């Protein structure tokens, strides 16, 4: 292989914070006191907190070195399936840091906070447009939080109809958050098997759906990257029994401007702004998981929501049927500003184009790798494609091995071992922001790894070699948890 | 569009490989009846210049902007954020990474979160702290659910009425579909929580207090802990101002079993209430009941120290409906930021800054009392307090607004009984001069 991206370089080591520093140092400026010191009951005063004292340079070097051990979308291709690791535009960071927005206090009267309310109001409208649904709450702080909000809405709706429902249908391809969110509302998950094509059959749903079932949670496109073609029929079956349809919008990046979620029969849908709408994931968060609903379910949405009253933007603080609050304030507002900026930069045309190219990239990879890796569901995909390690089994090389080998070549591995219905799954989502040359490089690398698996399997099994650490002992980490730094430091 | 790298030539070549006639052709599996046909009300795509202008125009409509002194906390605090923290948390290696599923490529995030967990545990006096929850409100809701999990057959939880009203509302929403009962404990005349009703209750899994509470009042946590433990209930404490523990006793030292709260004060801007940081910790026996992600220390194949996500068998992606919580994405970079902030302060700086916040608040308290105002609650407070003025304060509030000062939050909307009383929030960013301006308005 020519022009390999992953090479070894100088990696600087760095101890834990409390293994450096010296008492009496300070890493930040604290203002001089301009007031007299006041007494405080000694009983209330605690022992000093045992933080290391570091200088500003200590802190800057520490975190700079740590950052160099990390890999982000800005470092390279990050085809982590179902996570939509697209480029996070820099201009959006600037907008979120606008001094007026950054300083906005969440408890002031509406008249003093018009700008931030305008952004919320307009974003609500844009997201309603984009999904085809009627009303939006921006409060949920992440996708799973949106799911919980959706389940609370299901519960409120059924209670409003004096209907006691105890179950919920969840396809076997669903993210783990779906059953976990439903369980928080007391719903027992009833799994729906996908058919031999990796999709839901309306007839299976029909057999399982009854009047004790609150509804169904459908990820569409599903986690195999396939559009659930029978979603409308399924929705009709569920609605006929008084149930509701939850749409998990984790994979919306595939269908912007193409699919209308209301027409698909979805009643409640969450979006992941940190996936589809390009906000950075921050190594774990924050995300934002706005919830979009039909007119019929609008009364149940969390409060407050932004609305327009003449020329004034206002917050609706109270609504009788609302499920109430799911967040202390207005959700992850800073994330909302980034998504709003992204939508305005892309426009309708750009969003549609993004989905088209995301789907093109995934199908291009699927087509080029299908002879090298086993493709359990061979039909064309949407924004992601799922392979398995079945062809490499003969050489005793696993999905995990190949994922780790990708690290040595300078790529972030795909999502692995998910969805659960594919044994040894390798779930690749390139997103639209990867160019053809980088995708070709990725394809060539995957082919090279398949060759290595055949001819030099130890190379793959012993990967990664070039990263700061090699494979880590996760069993030990779980058996003897060391979760805070009280353990003895390793010998110098 | 500059984020989309494909040239027409690329598209043609790639379509040839996939065997499609056009980009539209890639979507042939989507039934016509599911198709989007509505025209969106989206404006034409904006260039970087146009976007800047648009956002600036919106920003200009903020009547209360960054030049105002907002003397309100109420769960969202104005503390100085060092430039170093802003610069370091903006490093895109941290910012543009996903959850660290591949630890060899995410040691920066993992060590940083491990350090955050450790420093936060030391601050709160907890044995374990997780990698973060969404915010203080949802953290309280999760703490109550955790209390109920540990309490097994018990069906009730009690929360103080002096907990932030939005936190209580969030907990109520989370518990609404369950069979569990959420009981509210009133506050006493001195602003602390009245626990006397607790002995009449049975089956209480956990009791939650906030300290400093919504009124800024420092609760008697040690005393409360004894009463609560005597009832065989778990003791949960929450907070919205973690800086308090730079000066006050740690909740863990006062007997708290679970501590949760909002960490926005540690290096995050107010940003209209989010993103913030749900801090969450517990005593060791309850570790496996914790919601959320945990980073743990381990070694690699060569015996080198490294960090991984661990105890994942509690989590949704493994345990599905039996998980301790549904949380997946958390507030990762906010936890990193708080770690950077705590590292920058150090133990010495933390005590100094906490003390300064306390002293400044006392200064305004004394100045207002000297002008005839009355402290509504007598118990000691940290950097917030409730005050009652000799006459209607609204006109003075209005005059101060004209001097770019937001002088406190009128409490009638949140506590009807406290109508006309104001909650003030003071930090190191409030100058003596501004506090004098407020006091002078009381006199006039």
Identify the residue whose tokens are 């919008």: A249
| Cross-chain CB nearest to A259 (options B34, B72, B250) | B34
The whole-chain average pLDDT of chain A stands at 96
Residue-range domain boundaries for chain B: 69-81+347-443, 83-342
pLDDT in tens, B230-240: 999 999 999 99
Q: Which residues of B touch A169 (CB under 8 A)?
A: none
Closest-CA residue of chain B to A362: B18
A228: three-class secondary structure by DSSP? coil
Beta strands (DSSP E) in A77-198 are 135-137, 167-171, 188-192
Q: Based on the domain organization, do A215 and A255 belong to the same domain?
A: yes
Q: Based on the domain organization, do A291 and A309 belong to the same domain?
A: yes
Domain edge (last residue) among A323, A345, A367:
A345
Domain count, chain A: 2
pLDDT in tens, A351-370: 999 999 999 999 999 999 99
Which residues, 6+ apart, have CB-to-CB distance to A156 below 8 Å? A300, A321, A323, B176
Q: Based on the domain organization, do A338 and A251 belong to the same domain?
A: yes
Average pLDDT over residues A58-71: 98
Q: Based on the domain organization, do A330 and A357 belong to the same domain?
A: no
Pick the CATH number of B69-81+347-443 from 3.40.50.150, 3.20.20.20, 2.60.40.10, 3.90.1150.10: 3.90.1150.10
- Whether residue A1 is predicted with pLDDT greater than 50 in this model: the reply is yes
Structure tokens at B153: 């057959």
Do A56 and B115 make contact, defined as CB atoms within 8 angstroms? no
In B78-129, where does DSSP find H-type helix?
83-89, 92-95, 107-124
**DSSP structure string for A365-384:** HHHHHTTTSB-SS-S--SS-
| Cross-chain CB nearest to B170 (options A99, A259, A328) | A328
Q: Which structural domain, as residue segments, surrounds residue A135?
A: 91-345
Do A258 and B328 make contact, defined as CB atoms within 8 angstroms? no
Average pLDDT over residues A50-77: 97
The whole-chain average pLDDT of chain B stands at 97
Q: What is the CATH number of the domain that holds A115?
A: 3.40.640.10
Structure tokens at B167: 């936190």
Give the angle subtended at the CA of A391 by the CAs of A390 and A395, to the nearest 5°: 105
Q: What is the CATH number of the domain that holds A365?
A: 3.90.1150.10
Q: Based on the domain organization, do A221 and A320 belong to the same domain?
A: yes
pLDDT in tens, A183-234: 999 999 999 999 999 999 999 999 999 999 999 999 999 999 999 999 999 9
Q: Based on the domain organization, do A273 and A381 belong to the same domain?
A: no
Q: Based on the domain organization, do A300 and A361 belong to the same domain?
A: no
Q: Which residues of A touch B52 (CB under 8 A)?
A: 91, 94
Nearest to residue B261, comparing CAs of B155, B443, B132, B395? Answer: B132
Report the distance separating Cα B298 and Cα B92, nearest Å: 26
Do B176 and A24 make contact, defined as CB atoms within 8 angstroms? no
> Hey, how many other C-beta atoms are within 10 angstroms of the C-beta on A478?
17
Report the distance separating Cα A289 and Cα A279, nearest Å: 12
Q: How many CA atoms lie within 13 A of B376 on its CB side?
A: 24
Q: Based on the domain organization, do A328 and A448 belong to the same domain?
A: no
Q: Based on the domain organization, do A410 and A304 belong to the same domain?
A: no
Report the distance separating Cα B298 and Cα B304, nearest Å: 8
| Cross-chain CB nearest to A72 (options B42, B97, B176) | B97
Report the distance separating Cα B13 and Cα A430, nearest Å: 17
pLDDT in tens, A81-138: 999 999 999 999 999 999 999 999 999 999 999 999 999 999 999 999 999 999 999 9
Q: pLDDT class for A491, splitting at 50, 70, 90? A: very low
- Whether residue B444 is predicted with pLDDT greater than 70 in this model: the reply is no
CATH of domain B83-342: 3.40.640.10
**By CB neighbour count within 10 A (0-12 exposed, 13-18 middle, 19+ buried), where does A234 fall?**
buried
Residue A280 is assigned to a structural domain of this protein:
yes
Report the distance separating Cα B353 and Cα B398, nearest Å: 31
Task: Determine if residue B434 is left, alpha or beta; phi over 0 gives left, psi from -120 to 50 gives alpha, anything else beta.
Answer: alpha
Which residues, 6+ apart, have CB-to-CB distance to B8 below 8 Å? none
Residue A375 is assigned to a structural domain of this protein:
yes
pLDDT in tens, A149-187: 999 999 999 999 999 999 999 999 999 999 999 999 999
- Whether residue A490 is predicted with pLDDT greater than 50 in this model: the reply is no
Q: Which residues of B touch A18 (CB under 8 A)?
A: 118
The residues in A 111-170 lying below 8 A from B, measured between CB atoms, are 111-116, 118-119, 125-126, 129-130, 132, 141-145, 147-148, 151-152, 155-156
Using alpha carbons only, how large is chain A's radius of gyration in Å? 25
Highest mean pLDDT among A15-19, B312-316, B317-321: A15-19
pLDDT in tens, B367-416: 999 999 999 999 999 999 999 999 999 999 999 999 999 999 999 999 99
- Whether residue A492 is predicted with pLDDT greater than 50 in this model: the reply is no
Residue A81: what are its φ and ψ, rounded to 5°? -55, 140
Structure tokens at B391: 């006459």
B175 vs A492, higher pLDDT = B175
Average pLDDT over residues A236-251: 98
Give pLDDT, residue B314: 86
Q: Based on the domain organization, do A177 and A109 belong to the same domain?
A: yes
Average pLDDT over residues B432-440: 97
Q: Based on the domain organization, do A155 and A285 belong to the same domain?
A: yes
> Hey, how many other C-beta atoms are within 10 angstroms of the C-beta on A319?
16
A130: three-class secondary structure by DSSP? helix
Q: Which residues of A touch B119 (CB under 8 A)?
A: 17, 51
Average pLDDT over residues B43-50: 97
């Amino acid at each position: 292989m020519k022009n390999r991206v992953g090479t070894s370089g100088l990696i600087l080591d760095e101890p834990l914070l409390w293994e450096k520093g010296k008492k009496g140092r300070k890493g930040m400026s604290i203002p001089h006191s301009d007031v007299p010191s006041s007494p405080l009951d000694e009983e209330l005063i605690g022992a000093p907190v045992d933080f290391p004292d570091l200088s500003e340079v200590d802190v800057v070097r520490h975190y700079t070195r740590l950052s160099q051990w990390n890999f982000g979308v800005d470092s390279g291709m990050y085809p982590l399936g179902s996570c939509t690791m697209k480029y996070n535009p820099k201009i959006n960071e600037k907008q979120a840091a606008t001094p007026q927005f950054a300083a906005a206090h969440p408890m002031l009267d509406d008249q003093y906070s018009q700008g931030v309310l305008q952004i919320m109001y307009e974003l609500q409208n844009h997201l309603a447009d984009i999904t085809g649904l009627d009303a939006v709450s921006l409060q949920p702080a992440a996708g799973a939080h949106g799911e919980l909000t959706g389940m609370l809405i299901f519960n409120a709706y059924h209670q409003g109809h004096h209907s006691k429902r105890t179950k919920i249908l969840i396809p076997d391809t669903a993210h783990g958050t779906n059953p976990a969110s439903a369980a928080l509302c007391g719903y027992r998950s009833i799994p729906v098997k996908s058919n031999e094509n990796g999709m839901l059959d309306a007839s299976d749903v029909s057999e399982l759906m009854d009047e004790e079932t609150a509804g169904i949670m459908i990820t569409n496109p599903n986690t195999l990257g396939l559009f659930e073609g029978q979603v409308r029929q399924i929705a009709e079956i569920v609605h006929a029994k008084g149930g509701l349809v939850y749409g998990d919008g984790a994979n919306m990046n595939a269908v912007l401007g193409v699919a209308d979620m209301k027409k698909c029969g979805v009643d409640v849908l969450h979006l992941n702004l940190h996936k589809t709408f390009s906000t950075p994931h921050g190594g774990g968060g924050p995300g934002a998981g706005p919830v979009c609903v039909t007119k019929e379910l609008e009364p149940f949405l969390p409060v407050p929501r932004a609305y327009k009253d003449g020329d004034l933007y206002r917050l609706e603080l109270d609504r009788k049927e609302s499920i109430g609050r799911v967040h202390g304030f207005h959700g992850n507002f800073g994330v909302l500003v980034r998504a709003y900026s992204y939508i305005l930069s892309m426009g309708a045309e750009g969003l549609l184009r993004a989905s088209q190219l995301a789907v093109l990239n995934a199908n291009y990879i699927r087509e080029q790798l299908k002879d090298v890796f086993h493709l359990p569901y061979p039909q064309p995909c949407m924004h992601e494609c799922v392979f398995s390690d079945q062809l490499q089994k003969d050489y005793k090389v696993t999905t995990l091995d190949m994922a780790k080998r990708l690290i040595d070549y300078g790529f972030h591995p795909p999502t692995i071992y998910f969805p659960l219905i594919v044994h040894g799954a390798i779930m690749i989502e390139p997103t639209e922001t990867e160019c053809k040359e980088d995708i070709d490089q990725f394809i060539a690398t995957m082919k090279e790894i398949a060759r290595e698996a055949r001819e030099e399997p130890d190379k793959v099994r012993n990967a990664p070699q070039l990263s700061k650490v090699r494979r880590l002992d996760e069993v030990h980490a779980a058996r003897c948890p060391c979760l805070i730094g009280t353990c003895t430091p390793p010998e110098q | 569009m500059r984020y989309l790298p494909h040239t027409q030539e690329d598209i043609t070549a790639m379509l040839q490989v996939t065997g499609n006639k056009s980009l539209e052709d890639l979507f042939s599996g989507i039934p016509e009846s599911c198709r989007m046909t509505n025209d969106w009300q989206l404006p034409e795509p904006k260039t970087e210049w146009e976007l800047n202008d648009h956002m600036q125009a919106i920003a200009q409509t903020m009547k209360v902007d960054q030049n105002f002194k907002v003397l309100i906390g109420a769960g969202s605090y104005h503390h100085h954020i060092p430039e170093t923290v802003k610069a370091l948390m903006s490093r895109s290696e941290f910012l543009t990474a996903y959850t660290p599923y591949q630890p060899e490529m995410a040691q920066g995030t993992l060590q940083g979160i491990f350090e955050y967990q450790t420093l936060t545990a030391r601050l709160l006096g907890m044995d374990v702290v997780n990698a973060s929850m969404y915010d203080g409100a949802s953290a309280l809701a999760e703490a109550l659910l955790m209390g109920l999990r540990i309490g097994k057959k018990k069906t009730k939880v009690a929360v103080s009425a002096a907990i932030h009203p939005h936190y209580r509302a969030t907990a109520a929403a989370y518990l609404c579909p369950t069979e569990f009962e959420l009981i509210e404990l009133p506050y006493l005349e001195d602003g602390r929580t009245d626990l006397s009703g607790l002995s009449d209750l049975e089956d209480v899994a956990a009791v939650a207090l906030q300290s400093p509470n919504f009124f800024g009042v420092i609760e008697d946590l040690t005393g409360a802990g004894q009463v609560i433990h005597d009832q065989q209930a778990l003791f949960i404490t929450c907070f919205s101002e973690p800086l308090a523990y730079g000066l006050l006793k740690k909740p863990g030292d006062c007997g708290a079993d679970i501590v949760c709260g909002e960490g926005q004060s540690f290096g995050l801007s107010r940003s209209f209430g989010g993103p913030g940081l749900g801090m969450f910790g517990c005593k060791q026996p309850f570790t496996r009941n914790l919601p959320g992600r945990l980073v743990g220390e381990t070694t690699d194949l060569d015996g080198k120290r490294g960090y991984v996500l661990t105890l994942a068998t509690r989590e949704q992606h493994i345990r599905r409906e039996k998980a301790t919580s549904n949380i997946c994405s958390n507030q990762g970079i906010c936890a990193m930021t708080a770690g950077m902030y705590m590292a920058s302060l150090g133990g010495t700086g933390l005590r100094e800054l906490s003390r300064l916040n306390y002293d400044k608040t006392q200064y305004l308290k004394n100045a207002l009392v000297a002008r005839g105002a009355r402290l509504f609650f007598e118990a000691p407070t940290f950097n917030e307090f409730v005050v009652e003025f000799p006459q209607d304060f609204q006109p003075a509030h209005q005059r101060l607004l004209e001097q770019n000062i937001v002088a406190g939050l009128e409490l009638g909307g949140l506590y009807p009984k406290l109508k006309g009383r104001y909650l003030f929030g003071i930090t190191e960013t409030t100058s003596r001069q501004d506090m004098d301006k407020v006091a002078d308005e009381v006199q006039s």
